[in-house]
Chains A and B, each alone.
Chain A
Amino acid sequence: MSAPHPLRPAAFDPQAVREDFPILARRVGDRPLAYLDNAATSQKPRVVIDAVADYYRLHNANVHRAAHLLSDEATAAFEEARAQVARFLRSPSVEQVIWTRGTTEAINLVAASWGGAHLRPGDRILATEMEHHSNIVPWQLICARTGAELVPVPVTERGEVDLAAYERLLDERVKLVAVTQVSNALGTVNPVPEMARLAKGVGALVLVDGAQGAAHFPVDVAALGCDFYAFSGHKVYGPTGIGVLWGKRELLEAMPPYQGGGEMIETVSFAGSTWNRLPYKFEAGTPHIAGAVGLAAALRYLEGLDREAVVAHEADLLAYTRERAAELPALRPVGEPRQAAGIFSFLLGDAHPADVGTVLDQLGVAVRAGHHCAQPLMARFGIPGTVRASFALYNTREEVDRLFAALAKACDLLL
């Protein structure tokens, strides 16, 4: 029997939580906003907005530099934010958390630094067909420079990674597997621990794109079995322009710097320079301090909620959406992954996704329509794009009902 947690969070109530997000009170024309585009970016709770504003209002100074009070405060807040991220990821140490502009920059960092140093002609990088362009193009760029080869891992009709095909592709040529934790286009939750275990069998590293996953599940980098984990602040209720690369210490230690400049050096002379220790080696230039502080506030906010209840709530929204979708004959889900999180992708008859999105917007329902920066996946399904409704913890069943009322109108107008 374990004693009750002393800081046991209050039961999760999505209606109460909505009060924490000022923008949700907005109207679109004469209708309330139903924001179902959370996979693109999430809205921000007041504590995040306040943390960013307070940073500029009260503490702004450059970090790790001047010997004055404000710089001390800014540095403390900045480094405490890093520690907050380390706890969020269950990282064994704080130095393994590197600030980036977002997931995209984090993946580019690994591709350029690790890939540039280690990839040779004949080497292979595997990336699943469901990857976001951000987890494809950086690998294409480094493969073009090094002579390595980027090989797609097929996706099944359900929208899941074809694990048998993945196993067949795994051999000693494979140096890294790039996989998203959750598909941004279909919502598929990938079996990352299993994929990582298989990759280890051939000595390949594993990079996990956590841009979608971090918003939906508690993250444990050790349990995932990954070598690198990347996520973006703005998709986990934090500010834009800040993100994180987490990496295994020995890999990060061995990797050359990504960008040169201030902060990342230990000494500089024209004869040569030496690099700062982790994590600063990878953080050239003045960082996005306010962003880091805001991201930490977002993660504290998330951890203050009953995460299990949040996961259950989001699962309920998705289950309810699928239930409602089954009642609409014109609606065709794209991908039907058995494990999914927060995202429902579909087509409406032969209507163009952009047309559906336009009609929904008229009714105050914000969704995304298009290829979702996953053109290889769209090509896999032979479609130009989908309509995507994506959920956050503050969404409600009532908003799902509004989505389907709007879809009925879209059917009426477009089909």
Chain B
Amino acid sequence: MNRPAQPNAPGVEEILETFDFFDDWEDKYRYLIELGRALPPLDPALRDEAHRVHGCQSQVWLHARREGDRLWFEADSDALIVKGLLALVLAAFNGRTPDEILAFDIEAYFRRLDLIRHLSPTRGNGLRALVERIRELARQAAAEGAPSLSPAPAEE
């Protein structure tokens, strides 16, 4: 029933293990950039103002859809490192229920990734805005309880 946005995307545990394994910034960045490259590009039609996440130096777009009681997210950016960061965030939220999304401690996750100093969400890379947008969508979905998130997926 679930159709993952990115079937082979690493999950949170795999990401955390990989990050734990690296001890210098360069290896972490290489991995982050690899995650960014692997993130499928968003349908260009969805790279519009309605899907823009503001508060980023680079451009970021987020598309959400609901399948049953789960939310799926696709995101894209014109900057590669930001795409890697998007992949980290999506790994934490994709295929989860709204309640799971709202309960997830994203700050603790970022701390464990040890990216706070380098890639802190206050640095204009838009992570904070992205996480806020995802949580807002989760709150809406929890409140509505109805399987519709705007804009509706075009292909279904």
Contact = CB atoms under 8 A, between A and B. Distances in A.
A26 to B, nearest CB: 15
Interface in A355-373: 355, 358-359, 361-362, 369-370
13 contacts: A352-B58, A352-B78, A354-B81, A354-B125, A355-B82, A359-B29, A362-B118, A384-B59, A384-B78, A409-B26, A413-B29, A413-B33, A414-B81
A354 B58 contact: yes
B110 to A, nearest CB: 16
A361 B57 CA distance: 15
Nearest to B85: A358
Contacts of A384: 59, 78
Contact of B25 (A351, A354, A362, A370): A362
B79 A352 contact: yes
A382 interface: no
Given A355-B58, A369-B57, A384-B59, 15 more contacts: A352-B78, A352-B79, A352-B80, A354-B58, A354-B82, A355-B82, A358-B125, A359-B29, A359-B81, A361-B118, A362-B118, A370-B57, A384-B78, A413-B33, A414-B33
Interface of A: 29, 351-352, 354-355, 358-359, 361-362, 369-370, 384, 409, 413-414
B39 to A, nearest CB: 14
A242 B26 CA distance: 40
Size bracket of the B interface: 10 to 19
A355 B119 CA distance: 11
B3 interface: no
Interface of B: 25-26, 29-30, 33, 57-59, 78-82, 117-119, 125
A298 B119 CA distance: 34
Contacts of B25: 362
A370 B29 CA distance: 21
A370 B26 CA distance: 23
A354 B29 contact: no
Main DSSP-derived SS at the B contact region: helix
What are the 8 closest A-B residue pairs judged by CB atoms, nearest first?
A: A352-B79, A354-B79, A354-B58, A355-B81, A354-B57, A355-B79, A355-B80, A358-B81
Contacts of A370: 57
Given A352-B58, A354-B57, A362 B29 contact: yes
A267 B61 CA distance: 57
Contacts of A359: 29, 81
A351 B78 CA distance: 9
Nearest to A409: B26
A384 B78 CA distance: 10
A44 to B, nearest CB: 23
A352 B36 CA distance: 13
A414 B83 CA distance: 12
Contacts of B59: 384
Contacts of A409: 26
Contacts of B117: 29
B80 A351 contact: yes
Interface centre among A358, A362, A369, A384 (most CB of B within 10 A): A358
Contacts of A358: 81, 119, 125
Contacts of B26: 362, 409, 413
Nearest to B80: A355
Nearest to A415: B80
Contacts of B118: 361-362
B26 to A, nearest CB: 7
Contacts of B58: 352, 354-355
Contacts of B80: 351-352, 355, 414
